[in-house]
Amino acid sequence: MELEELAEYEKKRKAAKKSKGGGKPDVAGIAPDQIIESTKEAAKYARVSARTVRRWVQEGMYAGKRDGKRIYIKNVLDVYKLHHGKEFSEDRKREQTAEADYKEIKAKLLAMDLKVRTGELIEREAIDRQRVQRIQAVKRAFLGLGRKLAPQLGPIKDPRKIQARIDEQVREIIGIFAK
């Protein structure tokens, strides 16, 4: 059944619905080999899930009734499978992209949270606090360098010994920063 045939069929279905006071149209004119008796069989025929078939019905795909049970028509399923959902609107595409991005970000956040809890990652605030503490320790050490070295260097007259003492103290300060 092509799209034109489906459109014609939908017109007839709507006309029958109006004439019968809103009931489903009669499916007597449809060949028995075109009728599928259950949602599960319809899903198997269309190679989709039963949930997809139910969603198609909610979205407007025709599903008749016989003896109080829902029936499906193979040609209608074929057309829905071929055409339905293939042409997404821009809004639907954006929604799907946003949903995929959200899931990806959520997965990354959960992975990072796990790494923080297992100690593989340290929170940025903790790193910043440690960095500030090291910088303050180095600053204090350099500011106190003159006071510390003055008594030690007073009696030393050899410039090489003075330089060696200063280098030793600077290495100690750098060691504080490297912790």
- Tens digits of per-residue pLDDT, 74-111? 888 888 887 765 544 566 678 888 889 999 999 999 99
Q: DSSP state, 158?
A: -
* Domain locations along the chain: 3-83, 88-121, 123-179
Question: Which residue in 103, 99, 105, 46 sits closest to 72, CA to CA?
Answer: 46
Instruction: Look at the block and give the residue holding tokens 């057309």.
Output: 79
Output the CA–CA distances (angstroms, integers) from residue 88 to 18, 116, 166, in the order listed: 31, 40, 74
pLDDT tens track for 29-66: 677 888 898 899 999 998 889 998 888 888 888 888 88
User: In the chain, which ranges are E strands?
Assistant: 35-36, 64-66, 69-73
Output the CA–CA distances (angstroms, integers) from residue 67 to 27, 64, 70, in the order listed: 11, 10, 8
- Distance between CA atoms of residues 152 and 144, nearest Å: 13
Question: Which residue in 145, 138, 142, 141 sits closest to 177, CA to CA?
Answer: 138
Q: How many residues does the chain have?
A: 179
Q: Which CATH class is domain 3-83?
A: mainly alpha
- Distance between CA atoms of residues 105 and 56, nearest Å: 31
CB-based contact 116:124 (threshold 8 Å)? no
The whole-model pTM stands at 0.35
